[in-house]
Amino acid sequence: MIMAPKLLVCDGCCCGRMEKGNNAVPIEYLKNAWKEHELQEHVGLSISGCLGPCSLNNVTLMMNGKERIWLGELGTTEHYEALVEWAKSISNDKQVSDLPDLLVSHQFKPK
């Protein structure tokens, strides 16, 4: 059985820490969007501690079944809106959607 897609959003030691020069992670916006659009049943949302690649601040891990997509340097409202749109697409279509174009350049492979 393939697991439902899930989004892990880092809110650990560096991500979202404005005092370290990083952009805020809009945790409440994401939680509210998941609730408003009833996404949790089709796409899990977890706010995580440190995911690791701190040099790429504001890291998110998108898990689609067996696929893992790492995203870093998410710094604008548009980035997080694209994550919500990705989740809405999965919820509406009942299948995994491609990575939103806006986020493609933020994809990386962890070392």
Answer whether 11's CB lies under 8 Å from 48's CB: yes
Q: How much is the pTM?
A: 0.90
Q: Is the pLDDT of residue 1 over 60?
A: no
> pLDDT tens digits for 69-107?
999 999 999 999 999 999 999 888 877 778 899 999 999
Q: Order of strands, edge to edge, in the sheet holding 67-71?
A: 44-48, 6-10, 60-64, 67-71, 107-108
Closest C-alpha among 82, 84, 101 to residue 42: 84
In sequence order, the 6+-apart residues with CB closer than 8 A to the CB of 60 are 7, 8, 9, 10, 70, 71, 72, 74, 83
> Which tokens go with 8?
């892990």
